[in-house]
């Protein structure tokens, strides 16, 4: 190349090389651009702006602009030198050309810069929102496959609510007696009051033993039998041989199983290089023009920085929303963030009327007293010292389904047989007959909690307990693989591209109208694992998703901007209190149509008040008031969906017990309910009655 230009002299050689080099850069850039738009399939403004969203494209474009400047400069300079002889005119034209080319490059730079996200962008194959058991199990599976995974948590991961799970993980290991996953499946279907999806329940019960043994191999410190196998205790609703005698199916690590599970999964995620973002609060999902979810925006609580987490798959694992009620066993972080994010993105939620009230929350405190206490031999008493559960569940007694036990306690209280105390009427949970040695070895956490929050020593006296909001059976409808679902106009299930949900936020549904004790931790592990297994294959096979435009990302920041700009208005603390009182009074253990209709109208007023609430603290670093206000939005979304759903289901089933419709109505209500956020209306969705490996369990009268 140089020899061909040698006759041009030194400057000519340099110009010749520069022309060739810039021509190569421009040719490669054109090939890159054509390839991008060819794979996109269309040329729209959104596609054009998404072209400039990556850092590589930005740098390449600026290099191409600079190449155009050099290329044009050499060519025009040569033309002026050859054909414009008056020196003054030539210099003037050269100056004009220089200014024009510089302006062109600056303009091009501004255009490119404007097409790039104003927010910082972090890109991963998958982003998992929530670091409880389900989120960490999904993230672990993704990271083990070699995909890049971001794990976002608004608290340090081991502070997630899974850490408070006490009793154990229900799974048919058969360590204490002969057992069978089909017996477990039967109990779960029955416990769900027959609106649990039997294909999903079958998958959970069948694959459960393998998933739990994986945890054992990871180092989870289960309690042990004398022969070294995992200890299993009895829990409510468990039976041998399809409804026979009481089973002992719940694998336990003393009464701190959730703590053991969460720490084990956290260590494994560190080992497998999951990128963990502690104390980051997810704001909203980001959808592209095709309706696919392509990540989320999140707020760093420590610094106030907002970042767009771009991902090919977004997994919601945000847990429950028990804080919509005044009295709950849930942590303060359980504010329905996933429900709110889903509803604002147009994703429907299923069975939101189904809220489990655990029979044994410490009266006046709401702190959970595990079902494992009754599994170890504890029992409930009324003020006359009677074991009243013998009246309501003659066979299972204190180990009947949780909804049955909770209603029984409330009936005792309503009929005047509740125990009196400064915290109001309640029942007593008697454990002292088990002996100090058993309590200290198998229920050490309960001893500590009772002494701290109930101010009683269970070794010497019973614990005051009352039904307390515990678990959200409803959530985002999903496939077994965690893929989020919506329903089209023909009533057919449709997968939402890029969005997954696992754990309590998901409604697979394996719990239906009532969850059995110990099945929640199994749900987390089995379906977190299943979603991860699906993603490790689908991400590798997935084509390029269209990027979100800047307007798509900015749309996810509307709530944050609204709160930041609201300096005047009502105190959000008062609004939150009103919401929780409304839910506690009108949508609790027992429900009635007129009260629920009144409650729904109250929520509409509260929702209007929320639009005019204020944010007093506008600082950036560790602004907990801002986070609480953002959480309040999600509490409102969750409570409203619950109220509409509860008014819609005109029967009593599982945890949804109505005075005005006291019977189960299979003819009309053997189905899921689906709340549509766009219209705030309700539809029905069929229950899956088609397990793959055995015949379905038909609905029958549910007794214990």
Domain residue ranges of the chain, discontinuous segments joined by + = 3-115, 357-467, 555-684
User: Would you state the pLDDT for residue 457?
Assistant: 96
Q: Does the annotation mark 402 as catalytic? A: yes
pLDDT digits (tens, 9 = 90+) for 227-247: 999 999 999 999 999 999 999
Q: Is 685 annotated as a binding residue?
A: no
Residue scoring higher pLDDT (662 or 12) = 662
User: Would you state the pLDDT for residue 57?
Assistant: 76
Q: Is 109 annotated as a binding residue?
A: no
Q: Is 697 annotated as a binding residue?
A: no
Q: Is 358 annotated as a binding residue?
A: yes
Which of 87-91, 280-284, 557-561 has the lowest average pLDDT? Answer: 87-91
Cα-Cα-Cα-Cα torsion 33, 34, 39, 44, nearest 10 degrees, comes to: 80
pLDDT digits (tens, 9 = 90+) for 307-360: 999 999 999 999 999 999 999 999 999 999 999 999 999 999 999 999 999 999
- Residues linked to residue 281 through DSSP beta bridges, in sequence order: 299
Q: Is 162 annotated as a binding residue?
A: yes
Strand pairing report for 476-477 and 506-507 = parallel
Q: Is 686 annotated as a binding residue?
A: no
| Closest-CA residue to 484 (of 356, 353, 341) | 341
The answer to whether the bond into 214 is cis (omega within 30° of 0) is no
Instruction: Specify the CATH number of the domain 3-115.
Output: 1.20.1300.10
Whether the CA torsion 125, 129, 131, 134 is positive or negative: it is negative
Q: What is the mean pLDDT of residues 533-538?
A: 93
Q: Is 323 annotated as a binding residue?
A: no
Q: Is 153 annotated as a binding residue?
A: yes
Q: Is 228 left (phi over 0), alpha (psi -120 to 50) or beta?
A: left
- Candidate list 344, 374, 402, 664, residue with the active-site label: 402
User: Would you state the pLDDT for residue 556?
Assistant: 86
Look at residue 534 and tell me whether its pLDDT is greater than 80: yes
Look at residue 12 and tell me whether its pLDDT is greater than 80: no
User: Would you state the pLDDT for residue 6?
Assistant: 44
User: Would you state the pLDDT for residue 546?
Assistant: 74
Which of 68-82, 431-445, 489-503 has the lowest average pLDDT? Answer: 68-82
Q: What is the mean pLDDT of residues 205-209?
A: 98
Q: How confident is the prediction for the chain on average, in pLDDT?
A: 90
- Residues linked to residue 300 through DSSP beta bridges, in sequence order: 280
Q: Is 217 annotated as a binding residue?
A: no
Look at residue 124 and tell me whether its pLDDT is greater than 60: yes
Q: Is 135 annotated as a binding residue?
A: yes
Look at residue 113 and tell me whether its pLDDT is greater than 60: no
Task: Report long-range pairs for 32-41 (Cβ below 8 Å, ≥24 apart).
Answer: 32/60, 39/543, 39/544, 40/546
Look at residue 41 and tell me whether its pLDDT is greater than 70: no
Residue 688's Cβ-side half-sphere holds a number of Cα atoms within 13 Å equal to: 22
Q: What is the mean pLDDT of residues 467-474?
A: 96
Look at residue 88 and tell me whether its pLDDT is greater than 90: no
Q: What is the mean pLDDT of residues 505-511?
A: 97
Rounded to whole angstroms, the Cα distance separating 321 from 335 reads 4
Q: Is 515 annotated as a binding residue?
A: yes
Look at residue 114 and tell me whether its pLDDT is greater than 60: no
Q: Are 281 and 627 in contact (CB under 8 A)?
A: yes
Q: What is the mean pLDDT of residues 643-655?
A: 98
Look at residue 298 and tell me whether its pLDDT is greater than 70: yes
Q: Is 521 annotated as a binding residue?
A: yes
User: Would you state the pLDDT for residue 110?
Assistant: 60
Residue scoring higher pLDDT (90 or 674) = 674
Look at residue 4 and tell me whether its pLDDT is greater than 70: no
Look at residue 100 and tell me whether its pLDDT is greater than 50: yes
**Number of helices followed by number of strands (H, E) in the chain:** 21, 22
Residue scoring higher pLDDT (421 or 663) = 663
Q: Is 56 annotated as a binding residue?
A: no
The predicted model scores a pTM of 0.83
Q: What is the mean pLDDT of residues 357-367?
A: 92
Q: Is 110 annotated as a binding residue?
A: no
Rounded to whole angstroms, the Cα distance separating 92 from 328 reads 80
Q: Is 470 annotated as a binding residue?
A: yes
User: Would you state the pLDDT for residue 391?
Assistant: 95
Q: Is 322 annotated as a binding residue?
A: no
Q: Are 477 and 492 in contact (CB under 8 A)?
A: no
Q: Is 96 annotated as a binding residue?
A: no
Q: What's the fold here for domain 357-467?
A: Flavocytochrome C3; Chain A, domain 1 (3.90.700)
Instruction: Specify the CATH number of the domain 555-684.
Output: 1.20.58.100
User: Would you state the pLDDT for residue 66?
Assistant: 75
Query: DSSP assignment of 281-339, as one string?
Result: EEEEEEE-TTS-EEEEEEEETTT--EEEEEEEEEEE-----GGGSSSBSS-TT-S-HHH
**Using 50, 70 and 90 to split pLDDT, how confident is the model at 47?**
low
The answer to whether the bond into 509 is cis (omega within 30° of 0) is yes
Q: Is 158 annotated as a binding residue?
A: yes
Q: How many residues does the chain have?
A: 704
**Using 50, 70 and 90 to split pLDDT, how confident is the model at 147?**
very high
Rounded to whole angstroms, the Cα distance separating 255 from 372 reads 8
- The distance of Cα 477 from the centroid of its chain, to the nearest Å, equals 12
Q: What is the mean pLDDT of residues 620-628?
A: 94
**Which residues lie below 8 Å from residue 657, measured CB to CB, with a gap of 6+?**
403, 407, 589, 590, 591
Rounded to whole angstroms, the Cα distance separating 180 from 499 reads 34
pLDDT digits (tens, 9 = 90+) for 588-599: 999 999 999 999
Q: Are 149 and 126 in contact (CB under 8 A)?
A: yes
Q: Is 155 annotated as a binding residue?
A: yes
Backbone phi, psi, residue 694, to 5°: -155, 165
Look at residue 259 and tell me whether its pLDDT is greater than 90: yes
Q: Is 370 annotated as a binding residue?
A: yes
């Amino acid at each position: 190349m140089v020899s061909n230009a040698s006759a041009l002299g030194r400057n000519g050689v340099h110009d010749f090389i520069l022309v060739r080099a810039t021509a190569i850069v421009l040719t490669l850039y054109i090939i890159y651009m054509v390839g991008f738009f060819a794979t996109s399939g269309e040329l729209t403004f959104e596609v054009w702006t998404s072209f400039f969203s990556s850092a590589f494209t930005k740098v390449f474009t600026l290099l191409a602009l600079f190449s155009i400047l050099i290329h044009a400069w050499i060519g025009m300079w040569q033309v002026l030198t050859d054909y414009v002889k008056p020196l003054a005119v030539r210099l003037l034209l050269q100056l004009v050309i220089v200014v024009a080319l510089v302006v062109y490059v600056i303009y091009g730079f501004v255009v490119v810069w404007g097409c790039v996200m104003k927010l910082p962008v972090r890109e991963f194959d998958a982003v998992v929102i929530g670091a409880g058991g389900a989120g960490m199990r999904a993230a672990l599976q993704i990271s083990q496959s070699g995909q890049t995974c971001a794990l976002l948590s608004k608290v340090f991961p081991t502070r997630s609510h899974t850490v408070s799970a006490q009793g154990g993980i229900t799974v048919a290991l058969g360590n204490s007696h002969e057992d069978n996953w089909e017996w477990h499946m039967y109990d779960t279907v029955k416990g769900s009051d027959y609106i649990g999806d039997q294909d999903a329940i079958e998958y959970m019960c069948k694959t459960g033993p393998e998933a739990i043994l994986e945890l054992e191999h990871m180092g989870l410190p289960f309690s042990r039998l004398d022969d070294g196998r995992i200890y299993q205790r009895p829990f409510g609703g468990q039976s041998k041989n399809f409804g026979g005698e009481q089973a002992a199916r719940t694998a336990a690590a003393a009464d701190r199983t959730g703590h053991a599970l969460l720490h084990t999964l956290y260590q494994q995620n560190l080992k497998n290089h999951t990128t963990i973002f502690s104390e980051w609060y997810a704001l909203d999902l980001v959808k592209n023009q095709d309706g696919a979810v392509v990540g989320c925006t999140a707020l760093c609580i420590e610094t106030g920085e907002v970042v767009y987490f771009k991902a090919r798959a977004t997994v919601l694992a945000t847990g429950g929303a028990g804080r919509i009620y005044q009295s709950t066993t849930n942590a303060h972080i359980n504010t329905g963030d996933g429900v709110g994010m889903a509803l604002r993105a147009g994703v429907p939620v299923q069975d939101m009327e189904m809220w489990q009230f655990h029979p044994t929350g410490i009266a006046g405190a709401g702190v959970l007293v595990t079902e494992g206490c009754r599994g170890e031999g504890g029992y409930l008493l009324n003020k006359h010292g009677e074991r009243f559960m013998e009246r309501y569940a003659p066979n299972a007694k204190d180990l009947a389904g949780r909804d049955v036990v909770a209603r029984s306690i409330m009936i005792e209280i309503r009929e005047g047989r509740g125990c009196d105390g400064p915290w109001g009427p309640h029942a007593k949970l008697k454990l002292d007959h088990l002996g100090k040695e058993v309590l200290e070895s198998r229920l050490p956490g309960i001893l500590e909690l009772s002494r701290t929050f109930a101010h009683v020593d269970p070794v010497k006296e019973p614990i005051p307990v009352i039904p307390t909001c515990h678990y959200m059976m409803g959530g985002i409808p999903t496939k077994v693989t965690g893929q989020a679902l919506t329903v089209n106009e023909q009533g057919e299930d449709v997968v939402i591209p890029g969005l997954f949900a696992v754990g309590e936020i998901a409604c697979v549904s394996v719990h239906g109208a009532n969850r059995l004790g110990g099945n929640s931790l199994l749900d987390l592990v089995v379906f977190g694992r299943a979603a991860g297994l699906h993603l490790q294959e689908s991400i590798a096979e997935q084509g390029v998703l269209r990027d979100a435009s800047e307007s798509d990302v900015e749309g996810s920041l509307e709530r944050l901007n609204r709160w930041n700009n609201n300096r005047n208005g009502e105190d959000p603390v008062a609004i939150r209190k009103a919401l929780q009182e409304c839910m506690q009074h009108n949508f609790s253990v027992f429900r009635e149509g007129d009260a629920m209709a009144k409650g729904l109208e109250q929520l509409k007023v509260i929702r209007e008040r929320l639009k005019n609430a204020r944010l007093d603290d506008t600082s950036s670093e560790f602004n907990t008031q801002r986070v609480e206000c953002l959480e309040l939005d999600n509490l409102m979304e969750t409570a409203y969906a619950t109220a509409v759903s509860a008014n819609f289901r005109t029967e009593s089933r599982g945890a949804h017990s109505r005075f005005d419709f006291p019977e189960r109505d299979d003819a009309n209500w053997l189905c899921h309910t689906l709340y549509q956020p766009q219209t705030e209306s309700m539809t029905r969705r069929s229950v899956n009655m088609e397990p793959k490996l055995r015949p379905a369990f038909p609905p029958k009268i549910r007794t214990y």
